[in-house]
Amino acid sequence: MNWLRSLDNGRAVLLKVRAQPGAGRTMVRGEYGDSLKIAVAAPALEGRANAALIAFLARRCGLPRSAVSLEKGPASRDKYFRLEGIGPAEAARRLLAD
């Protein structure tokens, strides 16, 4: 899982996402190289896809939205998100759950 890195002694993670905006629905598509590919129903306009990704990641990981932040790549398909209050093992389990 090169797409997930532990931060702050396991109290946070850095997640590398390959976004696919404009999809039929928001869902995890699986691993894509060194990223986790996530299809996003929102279009890549005015930050809507980024906001939808933040909401999706928070909901999927059981975190408040304030615990998820976009660290790098607001205008790119390749993005880095910081998730506070969750360790790498639990984040991977929740993100890959069907």
Q: Please, what is the average pLDDT of the chain? A: 96
pLDDT in tens, 34-50: 999 999 999 999 999 99
75-94 as b/e, with b when 16 or more CB fall inside 10 Å? eeeebbbbbebbbbeebbeb
> What is the rounded distance in angstroms from the CA atom of residue 38 to the CA atom of residue 16?
10
Asked whether 13 and 90 are in contact (CB, 8 A), the reply is no
The continuous run of DSSP H or E covering 92 comes out as helix 88-96
Asked whether 66 and 49 are in contact (CB, 8 A), the reply is no
Please tell me the total count of domains within the chain: 1
**Host domain of residue 84:** 4-96
pLDDT in tens, 4-43: 999 999 999 999 999 999 999 999 999 999 999 999 999 9
Q: What pLDDT sits at residue 98?
A: 73
> What is the rounded distance in angstroms from the CA atom of residue 26 to the CA atom of residue 84?
22
| pLDDT-based confidence at residue 1 (cuts at 50, 70, 90) | confident
Q: Is the pLDDT of residue 68 over 80?
A: yes
Global pTM value? 0.95
Residue 87, domain CATH: 3.30.1200.10
